[in-house]
């Protein structure tokens, strides 16, 4: 049986059934592997034929020290954790899991937006602290509350997740515009494609849905923030490094941006010096948009299916 090593199963494995993966080979599972310790990574996969990784990097040095390695399965959509060129040169198949979390991330994008505009968490906390019971009126609110109807949502990037967010926004009665680096043909009459500058100018809510590349890193910065409405809400369920976090924090603290709600930051886990932690009207969740139970079940099922297809000689979802 093939020797299979799972390097970092903790984020998925507390409540999932891994028997299907165990049935495919001689499996060794690790909850976590030190992502900064190349020697530990090498020692764990040195004899492996198949490696499954989520966030543990497999770079050229690691690949060079794993002579039996034939297959790397990435438990996620992004594949920057693997040195694709080195794997290709060694004829190592690399697969990923595309689109498994589109619905969950779109849902979470709106969760962030509804939290900003509806302030559910704050008012729930105040009620439990006795504020309502001690008040003279049938109602109270401590922060402004906003309707989404007729507001303009601007989507930067228009892939699968953004398309689902667009449909949710339309259901709420929002106007929807989008910018994509490659123009797209769309059929929806309620949807408008615009330039990036136009999107920044007209949007009441801006949501980021692009991958991290040299061109998109720091896309949201002092210059682009200056083009936005001071009342704009910025959402990020993509990658933390799409924004210059100091510039966003400054814009929030100087009331040049109404709110920033993000599920991702530039360094994860977040460091206590991150300027967003002390910024006003900043909402941060710990990279959980992908994590509903059903979504993780789907991720595991597709990752196992990828490996089954490879073992049967019919590779799917190969990225190299």
Q: Which residues are catalytic?
A: 239, 268, 287
Work out the number of other CB atoms within 10 angstroms of the CB of residue 23: 11
Q: Can you read off the two tokens belonging to residue 200?
A: 């920044």
Cβ neighbours for 36, distance < 8 A, ≥ 6 positions apart: none
Q: Please give the Cα distance from 60 to 75 (Å, whole number).
A: 19
Q: Are 192 and 176 in contact (CB under 8 A)?
A: yes
Closest CA to 143 of 260, 250, 281, 263: 281
Q: Please give the Cα distance from 22 to 26 (Å, whole number).
A: 7
End-to-end CA distance of the chain: 25
Q: Please give the Cα distance from 219 to 143 (Å, whole number).
A: 30
Going across the sheet that includes 282-284, the strands are: 191-193, 175-179, 152-156, 205-208, 233-236, 259-262, 282-284
Cβ-count burial 67-80 (b if 16+ within 10 Å, e if not): eebebbbbbbbbbe
Q: Please give the Cα distance from 76 to 99 (Å, whole number).
A: 9
Tell whether the torsion through CA atoms of 38, 41, 46 and 51 is positive or negative. Answer: negative
Closest CA to 55 of 29, 78, 22: 78
Closest CA to 208 of 232, 231, 234, 229: 234
Q: Can you read off the two tokens belonging to residue 71?
A: 């297959």
């Amino acid at each position: 049986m093939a020797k299979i090593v799972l390097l970092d199963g903790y984020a998925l494995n507390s409540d999932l059934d891994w028997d299907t993966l165990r049935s495919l080979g001689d499996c060794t599972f690790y909850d976590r592997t030190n992502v900064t310790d190349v020697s530990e990574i090498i020692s764990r996969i040195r004899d492996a034929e198949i490696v499954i990784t989520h966030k543990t990097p497999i770079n050229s040095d690691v690949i060079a020290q794993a002579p039996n390695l034939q297959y790397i399965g990435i438990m996620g959509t992004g594949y920057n954790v693997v040195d694709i060129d080195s794997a290709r040169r060694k004829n190592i198949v690399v697969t990923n899991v595309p689109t498994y979390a589109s619905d969950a991330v779109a849902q979470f994008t709106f969760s962030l937006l509804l939290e900003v505009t509806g302030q559910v968490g704050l008012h729930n906390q105040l009620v439990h602290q006795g504020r309502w019971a001690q008040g003279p009126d049938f109602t109270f609110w401590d922060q402004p509350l906003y309707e989404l109807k007729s507001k303009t949502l601007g989507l930067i990037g228009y892939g699968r997740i953004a398309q689902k967010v667009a449909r949710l926004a339309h259901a709420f009665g929002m106007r929807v515009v989008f910018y994509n680096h490659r123009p797209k043909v769309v059929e929806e009459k309620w949807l408008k494609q615009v330039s990036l500058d136009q999107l920044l100018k007209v949007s009441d809510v801006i949501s980021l849905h692009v991958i991290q590349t040299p061109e998109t890193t720091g896309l949201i910065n002092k210059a682009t923030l200056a083009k936005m409405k001071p009342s704009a809400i910025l959402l990020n369920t993509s990658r933390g490094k799409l924004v210059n976090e100091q510039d966003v924090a400054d814009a929030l603290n100087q009331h040049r941006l109404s709110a920033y709600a993000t599920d991702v930051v530039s360094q994860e886990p977040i460091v206590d010096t991150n300027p967003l932690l002390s910024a006003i009207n900043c909402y941060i969740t710990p990279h959980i948009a992908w994590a509903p139970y059903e979504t993780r079940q789907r991720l595991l099922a597709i990752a196992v299916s990828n490996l089954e297809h490879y073992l049967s000689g019919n590779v799917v979802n190969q990225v190299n």
